[in-house]
Chain A
Amino acid sequence: MPDTHPEDLQFIERLRQGDRAAFGQLVKTHHNMLLATARTLLNPADAEEAVQDAWIAAHRAIAKFEGRSQLRTWLTRIVINQAKMMLRKRGREIQFDPTDDPDALAHRFHNDGHWQQPPQHWELSSPDNLLTREELRHCMEKHLHFMPDSQRLVLELRDLQGLPAEDVCNMLELSASNVRVLLHRARARLFEMVDHFQETGEC
């Protein structure tokens, strides 16, 4: 997903000079995405507050922005830090150990690694496309909600926002292999959910 934002040097320079209109454009472009990131970790009210605080922090620090990363990555990192602080205040922490949660697909294989329960055939041609069905959307929301925070966050950053894997590793201070495992676990859960829906028509 390309950055929709005219991230040229001139724009960055205006931001660094404290140009209000430029900062407004930054907020306008990135706010909803940052809010989505915060919501993977916090309830809606806390997420709003974390992102507002992140804007204040970003506004203070923008004069020192060196352009080493994309603005979006820089902002997302600030939001995640604010969200972590908020979690700590609530006595919670994100558990990043990917071995905490088993692979949702593991039970579908024989010990020898071959499929025991292969995937169902999903109806993907319109107009009956399984993936566009309203009930499936609701079911997905529900599963996202019950997913471990770390998986939901990595899925959001990689698959919903399309941030590069390397940026996500840096932002979360995780190794490439941990991010890979978390993303795989998150996708496996969703795959399993859709497959179950295809088979039973139920969430």
Chain B
Amino acid sequence: MLKCKHVTEKADALVDGSALSRRERLALRLHLMMCQNCRRYVRQLRALLGFLPRKEEPLEDARTEAILKKLDPSQDR
């Protein structure tokens, strides 16, 4: 039987949807069915990761231009 401590260690793969063997996945599901604390852990971990700030804004044109200028000074205009 999987221990709670191991569930928290395997929870990363579970929330990432990454490779777990069928056996591991089954053992996790079984444990989560019975253990409210681990269910809470997994649910809240998922929520936490969903709220991490992401930085995807493109760079402003002026700063892009400034970087390009430093690449090859001969291209300065």
Q: Which residues of A contact B (CB under 8 A)?
A: 1, 4, 20, 23-24, 27-29, 31-33, 36, 52, 55-56, 59, 105-106, 109, 112-115, 118-119, 121-122, 124, 131-132, 137, 159-162, 165, 180, 183-184, 187-188, 190-191, 194-195
Contacts and interface: CB of A to CB of B under 8 A. Distances in A.
Contacts of A131: 47-48, 51
A52 B67 contact: yes
Contacts, number: 103
Given A56-B70, A115-B37, 13 more contacts: A27-B59, A31-B63, A31-B67, A32-B56, A32-B57, A114-B5, A118-B40, A132-B51, A159-B49, A160-B52, A161-B54, A165-B16, A191-B44
Nearest to A162: B54
B64 A114 contact: no
Contacts of A20: 68, 75
Contacts of B56: 1, 4, 32-33
A59 B37 contact: no
A137 B51 CA distance: 10
Contacts of B68: 20, 23-24, 27
A159 B68 CA distance: 29
Interface of B: 3-6, 8-9, 12-13, 16, 18, 37-38, 40-41, 44-45, 47-49, 51-59, 61, 63-65, 67-68, 70-72, 75
Chain B contact surface mostly = helix
B22 to A, nearest CB: 19
B67 A187 contact: no
A67 B67 CA distance: 23
Contacts of B4: 109, 113-115
Contact of A122 (B5, B44, B54, B57): B44
A20 B3 CA distance: 57
B48 A190 contact: yes
A23 B41 CA distance: 44
28 contacts: A1-B54, A1-B56, A23-B68, A27-B59, A27-B64, A27-B67, A28-B59, A31-B63, A31-B64, A31-B67, A32-B55, A32-B56, A32-B58, A36-B55, A55-B67, A105-B8, A106-B5, A113-B4, A115-B38, A119-B37, A122-B47, A132-B51, A161-B54, A180-B13, A188-B8, A191-B41, A191-B44, A195-B44
